[in-house]
A = this chain, B = another copy of it.
């Protein structure tokens, strides 16, 4: 099956438009802080959410609105997470009402999402005042504005889309994401909105989202902090007119592969743009006895502050890799583990059978000064593999988070 990358992210699929504006939540008037994605028709929809016990009010409202597996629009803001506020659910509900009114759709078919500081009241007025104008701006070109509207400490826009065939019909899946800090998703992630024109039931959408998140977003860690507002939402307009996907089968797998390409791309972009990051780190675990062990080991290595700091310093300190494997909780035989580093600078073996081997520090450094680095861990104890994505730990992570609110 051929998957072709195309422009347009969330508006690339048939039936979707988007817009973004500055409404006044943020003081910086040049930064968009309110976004809208809307479909011409009612969509099948699915979402997954943070596992944090503290959940943002938008998640509570969205969960309620998606109970029937249907949605037609997504309203989202940055600058304030609308979390730990006494009136949070009221505010989130009002955002959906205003959106529904402007678009002439049922407010319960609106998904709402917020990102930003926790525990500061979110003012409703600037949002409701801006929504009519925002909905008038909806267009195919608006994908670039909506992704800007959800950025916080992000330094890069994260957007992609793929085109492929389902039977004789051409389908598109496109997505945008934000996420830079407080990134250690579990069963869900930072904000991510995906649209598709595939014809697929809500149940199969949810299943595909869950299965794909397990090997994409849930394998990303920037700082080990699982946010209160993580959410991935997918809307399927069905306008590509393929035979509806109602069960697992060839079409489901074709769709899921496209979804995986989109979600893997966005996961890597989120890791690469981790707060303060200078490098994208990819931990590849091979030869694991099972997939859970592979994922546990990959996630533990990518999350180690010490390993991350070593990567910042281009220091081939593989002992920290072994240490992180050791405390991961996975049942591994340390004496079988090999560790290699790889990048465009080359590839080097630094640990064999759990012990150090002689290696060229010069070559190691040449590999580790690149901006995309793979650490390849062979457990030599089975056939399962997993990949996790993260970034280095830098001075700037500390700087960004030392005075986030001010």
Specify the main secondary structure of chain A where it touches its partner.
loop
Contact B318 A119 (CB under 8 A): yes
Indicate whether A241 reaches chain B with its CB closer than 8 angstroms.
Answer: no
Instruction: Tell me which of A327, A393, A397, A404 has the highest count of chain B C-beta atoms within 10 A of its own C-beta.
Output: A327
Residues on the B chain within 8 Å of A402, using CB: 309-310, 312-313, 315
Residues on the B chain within 8 Å of A331, using CB: 53
Contact B54 A334 (CB under 8 A): yes
Indicate whether A224 reaches chain B with its CB closer than 8 angstroms.
Answer: yes
Indicate whether A363 reaches chain B with its CB closer than 8 angstroms.
Answer: no
Indicate whether A356 reaches chain B with its CB closer than 8 angstroms.
Answer: yes
Q: Which of A82-90, A140-148, A244-252 contacts B (4 or more CB under 8 A)?
A: A82-90
Indicate whether A354 reaches chain B with its CB closer than 8 angstroms.
Answer: yes
Indicate whether A235 reaches chain B with its CB closer than 8 angstroms.
Answer: no
A381 to B38, CA, bound (A): 44
Contact B53 A403 (CB under 8 A): no
Contact A332 B53 (CB under 8 A): yes
Residues on the B chain within 8 Å of A192, using CB: none
Contact B315 A356 (CB under 8 A): no
Which residues of A, 283-310, contact B by the 8 Å Cβ criterion? 303-306, 309-310
A309 to B275, CA, bound (A): 12
A83 to B81, CA, bound (A): 45
Indicate whether A226 reaches chain B with its CB closer than 8 angstroms.
Answer: yes
Contact A84 B309 (CB under 8 A): no
Indicate whether A401 reaches chain B with its CB closer than 8 angstroms.
Answer: yes
Which of B81, B305, B355, B398 is the one whose CB lies under 8 Å from A223?
A: B305
Which residues of A, 347-406, contact B by the 8 Å Cβ criterion? 351, 354-356, 393-395, 397-406
Contact mask A72-85 → B, CB, 8 Å, 1/0?
00000000010111
Contact A351 B84 (CB under 8 A): yes
Indicate whether A151 reaches chain B with its CB closer than 8 angstroms.
Answer: no
Contact mask A33-55 → B, CB, 8 Å, 1/0?
00000000000000000011111
Contact B398 A394 (CB under 8 A): yes
Indicate whether A21 reaches chain B with its CB closer than 8 angstroms.
Answer: no
Contact B305 A224 (CB under 8 A): yes
Which of B85, B304, B313, B397 is the one whose CB lies under 8 Å from A403?
A: B313
Residues on the B chain within 8 Å of A186, using CB: 327
Residues on the B chain within 8 Å of A10, using CB: none
Instruction: Tell me which of A305, A318, A399 has the highest count of chain B C-beta atoms within 10 A of its own C-beta.
Output: A305
Contact A118 B323 (CB under 8 A): yes
A266 to B225, CA, bound (A): 28
From known contacts A53-B326, A86-B355, infer whether A309 and B81 are also in contact, taking CB-CB under 8 Å: no
Indicate whether A26 reaches chain B with its CB closer than 8 angstroms.
Answer: no
Looking at the assembled complex, report how far the CB atom of A342 sits from the nearest CB atom of chain B, in whole angstroms: 19
Contact A54 B119 (CB under 8 A): no
Instruction: For the complex of A and B, list the 6 residue pairs with the smallest distance between their C-beta atoms, beginning with the closest.
Output: A118-B319, A313-B402, A54-B326, A309-B401, A226-B327, A52-B326
Given contacts A54-B325, A85-B356, 16 further A-B contacts (CB under 8 A): A53-B325, A54-B322, A84-B334, A84-B354, A181-B306, A223-B305, A224-B304, A224-B305, A225-B324, A226-B326, A309-B398, A309-B400, A309-B401, A313-B404, A393-B401, A398-B398
A interface, CB within 8 angstroms of B: 51-55, 81, 83-86, 117-121, 181-182, 184, 186, 223-228, 303-306, 309-310, 312-313, 315, 317-320, 322-328, 330-332, 334, 351, 354-356, 393-395, 397-406
